[in-house]
Structure 1
Amino acid sequence: MKYTRKKMLLSLALIALMISAVFAQPLSAQAAAPPELDAESAILVDASSGKILYAKNADMAMPPASMTKMMTEYLVLEAIEEGQISWDTTTQISDYPYSIARNPNFSGGVGIRQNQDYTVRELYEAMAVFSDNSTTIALAELIAGTETEFVQMMNDKAEELGLPEYKFVNSTGLNNASLGDNRPEGTDPNGSNLLSAESAALLAYHLVNDFPDALEISSMTEVEFAGHTIENLNWMLPHDATFLQQFHYEGMDGLKTGNTELAGYTFTGTAKQNGTRLISVVMKTDSKQARFQQTAKLMDYGFNNFATQEIVPAGYQKEGESTLPVAKGKENELAVSTAESITLPVKNGEEDLYSVEYQIPEETLNEDGELIAPIEEGETVGTATLVYEGETDHGYIFDETSGTVNLVANSTVEKDNWFMLSMGAVGDFFGNMFTTSVNWVKGLF
């Protein structure tokens, strides 16, 4: 009896252990649910592929406050790259930016003075690190002559970069109503800059990928300006102050804070962990602390629940479609493969939810759906598109061609010689005649 009872207890223990093992493994591989964010609008994007990992009202245009300055930063860095200015170029402060610096209604200020030379680097650091408005306007005037002309450059660049929702009315992100007569000519006296979270993320994507040096400055916790130290308003950087250390986020190195009464508290952040860089945007949060807390939620969700994987390698051949039929060639078929790889962040547990579809342009095929020789090795014959078969797909921050690569010929198929083509045509002629005759005879009965 005791022996039987021991066996029963042992069996129950083993069953419990097996059950726990069965359930433990899937749970560890499963991704967590998307976070609930206390922000009116938000987005999380993979900075390499442009894949959107999370979106909440991401296409809603809202005032971005000083996140506007990312566009000013982009244009300054572009002007440096094109040789129009350099980091050592100097300029002085005109009456307009000086009046902004002296206005107590605007936050901060870096102690800027007139009749003094400032380098582009000094002005840029004050703008990017401390979000200073007067140095931002000074840079706009240096590049374009006036802020009015600079605003036109901002809108032109937004169109060029493909931002989906945008309107720039000044270089700083302040409301035009607070600028009074200084507002750029031709802009709404009560207007405000507008960006969606998606547009802000796309702008940040271009900023960090086109000009990686921007992160060297945005990651500086403090800089020297006019003889005193100014601290970065991004609390997620590794600050020394004890109060700020609670907001520090591993790998964070940018990008831009913002705050006005109309916009609330906004933040575009970017962090890199284990080789993966993410870009996040939160708009209209309730406080300075909240914008960083909500950003941490987004970053945690991305880094903990997605893994970057090469889903389609270069040279991939789809099973059952590794060759395509060819007409008028010395070979009747052609092996094809992908010209490039497709690498994306894949959500945990969704590795098997991706497939590949081929698209061959109809104009390149004959009426029988065949490619027509000659075809050169490496020639593009179509495209291969990654298809996600899961429940929620936020798409890409770019256009619809994202997740698509070229499908190319693996070898050369030469056009058949005239004799073989002629014999084929004769064969087709008699074949068609025979078929027509057979059908005619059948029609008699």
Structure 2
Amino acid sequence: MNAVKNNWKKRIAWVLTICMIQMVIFQINGSKVAYAETAPPSALSLEVKSAILIDAATGQVLYEMDADTPRQPASMTKMMTEYLVLDAIRDSKLTWDELVNTSKYASSVIGSGQMIAENEKLPVKDMFALMSIYSGNDGSVALAERVGGGSEDNFVKMMNDKAKAIGMSDKTSFNNATGLTRADLKDYASKTYTGENLMTARDVGILAKNLIKDHPEILNYTKITSQKLRPADKAPMTNWNWMLEGYKDSAFRKGYAYQGLDGLKTGHTDEAGWCFTGTAERNGLRLISVVMGANTEAKRFDETRKLMDYGFNNFENKQLVNEKTALDGAKVASVKKGVELEVPLVTKNAVSYIVQKGETATDLKVETTLVDESKRVAPIKKGDVLGTAKITYKNNTQSVDLIADADVEKASWWRLMFRAIKDFFVNLFSDIKSLF
């Protein structure tokens, strides 16, 4: 009998041991999955010199690594060249079909491109494709000279002015339209703008954000995997961006193709290393990543994947303030010469932030400013802008207009007269009362 009991005890012990081992294995595996999905920034272990990950809509920073050290950006410089060309088209100073001449400088510049001959004329749209798809230095110089009134130096001044206008730091400076070094350009290096092109990763992110915001059509070019420059060309221009979603069926690039990725700009020189500004959109969330100084061509894409995975796995776009919301401290605004003396205020638009998935967003800081009272005079229409609110969440600030939530009619002269009489006597009695 004791032997039977002992056998049962041994069996139960074995079952419990096996269950405990399975539970431990499950917990270990489970923790690995959870860690992969919610890995903190310190766990990314990026093998680059600088990096940043931002929300394309707001510029909110989700990750950064040495993002404020100025470095040579190589051909990522061309994003500013693209920006100014698209500005010129928007402002009717240039058209897509206008023929652009190729100078001796443009035709002889080294590096990527070397596809157009001196005095060859191509439409802006083809030059732009050469620059944006194939990173053509020749097309970039030709367009820069055209927009700069025949001078790349004039164009460089526009580049530096634009950098200041969109909030890039004084650590950023441009001296050519391509991102090539002075040694690469040799006799064509600027005599006016010395030094090398420099940008911080943060400034590259600011440039990319504003480029996409002001000219979303840029993505129609940057997402193209290959395209012929001229119909008669035997071989197409091939995009250097291996991560384009369009490469998902490519025999050579499908291992790098990334869901939703449609831009933006690669760059490489011996001095800069391998650089890449990527942008991808999933479920209404567009991210922009920047890596600078990778040591191989493939590594810049591997590290970008880490950044993008971290962003899409851990963050979501969340509406923290609804449209037409009355904010504490600014629920009404005084009105002069109206039937009513106050008008209710609400936010014009909703305000959204990027938050960690599952996070309950609280601790919003709100700072409101009303327009001068000289502008808050009846009649006021529902929807009129009467102020702004700066809403801050975790050091990220957005502004939203405050609008009237009702009409306020102008008071008649009769009503205004009696109101003035009433105010006179109220003030008089108040003054008399203060004497005692």
Give TM class, smaller chain.
Answer: 0.7 to 0.9
Q: Tell me what 1:234 maps to.
A: 241
* Structure 1 residue matching 2:140: 3-state secondary structure: helix
Q: Tell me what 2:400 maps to.
A: 405
- 1:94-173 matches, within 5 Å, as 94-101=103-110, 107-144=111-148, 145-165=150-170, 166-173=172-179
Q: Distance in 1 between matches of 2:361 and 2:368?
A: 21
Q: Which 5+ residue runs of structure 2 have no aligned equivalent?
A: 1-7
Give the alignment's TM-score, normalised by structure 1.
0.78
- 1:270-289 matches, within 5 Å, as 270-289=279-298
Is the 8 Å Cα contact of residues 127 and 140 (structure 2) preserved in structure 1?
Answer: yes
Q: Tell me what 2:68 maps to.
A: 59
Structure 1 position 219 matched with structure 2 position 223: yes
Q: Percent identity?
A: 36
Deviates more, 1:222-231 or 1:254-263: 222-231
Structure 1 position 384 matched with structure 2 position 392: no
Q: Distance in 1 between matches of 2:71 and 2:391?
A: 32
Q: Tell me what 1:313 maps to.
A: 322
Using the TM superposition, give the Cα deviation of residue 342 of structure 1 relative to its aligned residue in structure 2, in angstroms: 1.0
Deviation digits for residues 72-128 of structure 1, max 9, x if unmatched?
112222233333333333344322223324xxxxx4444433353333233222221
Q: Distance in 2 between matches of 1:435 and 1:117?
A: 85
Q: Tell me what 2:4 maps to.
A: none
Q: Distance in 2 between matches of 1:197 and 1:53?
A: 13
Q: Distance in 2 between matches of 1:335 and 1:83?
A: 42
* Structure 2 residue matching 1:148: 3-state secondary structure: helix
Cα 1:192–1:331, aligned 2, differ >3 Å: closer, same or farther?
A: same
Is the 8 Å Cα contact of residues 113 and 139 (structure 2) preserved in structure 1?
Answer: no
Determine which of 199, 202, 206 is the counterpart of 1:202: 206
Q: Tell me what 2:260 maps to.
A: 251
Q: Tell me what 2:426 maps to.
A: 427
Give 1:249's aligned amino acid.
Answer: Y
Using the TM superposition, give the Cα deviation of residue 253 of structure 1 relative to its aligned residue in structure 2, in angstroms: 0.7
Cα 1:326–1:100, aligned 2, differ >3 Å: closer, same or farther?
A: closer
Q: Distance in 1 between matches of 2:184 and 2:100?
A: 25
Q: Distance in 2 between matches of 1:84 and 1:252?
A: 31
Cα 1:293–1:426, aligned 2, differ >3 Å: closer, same or farther?
A: same
* Structure 1 residue matching 2:254: 3-state secondary structure: helix
Give 2:242's aligned amino acid.
Answer: W
Q: Distance in 2 between matches of 1:431 and 1:216?
A: 69
Q: Distance in 1 between matches of 2:187 and 2:165?
A: 30
Using the TM superposition, give the Cα deviation of residue 186 of structure 1 relative to its aligned residue in structure 2, in angstroms: 0.8
Give the alignment's TM-score, normalised by structure 2.
0.80
Deviation digits for residues 260-297 of structure 1, max 9, x if unmatched?
12211111111111222211111122221111111111
Give 1:408's aligned amino acid.
Answer: I
Cα 1:173–1:360, aligned 2, differ >3 Å: closer, same or farther?
A: closer
Q: Distance in 1 between matches of 2:65 and 2:409?
A: 50
Using the TM superposition, give the Cα deviation of residue 171 of structure 1 relative to its aligned residue in structure 2, in angstroms: 0.7
Q: Distance in 2 between matches of 1:323 and 1:86?
A: 48
Q: Distance in 2 between matches of 1:143 and 1:94?
A: 14
Cα 1:372–1:220, aligned 2, differ >3 Å: closer, same or farther?
A: closer
Give 1:268's aligned amino acid.
Answer: T
Aligned length: 397
The higher-RCO structure (CA 8 Å, 6+ apart) is: 1
Q: Distance in 1 between matches of 2:188 and 2:341?
A: 72
Cα 1:379–1:265, aligned 2, differ >3 Å: closer, same or farther?
A: same
Deviation digits for residues 297-318 of structure 1, max 9, x if unmatched?
1111221222112221221023
Is the 8 Å Cα contact of residues 373 and 413 (structure 1) preserved in structure 2?
Answer: no
Cα 1:357–1:414, aligned 2, differ >3 Å: closer, same or farther?
A: farther
Cα 1:93–1:333, aligned 2, differ >3 Å: closer, same or farther?
A: closer
Q: Distance in 2 between matches of 1:326 and 1:141?
A: 54
Deviation digits for residues 127-173 of structure 1, max 9, x if unmatched?
21121212211222233212122212222222333322421101110
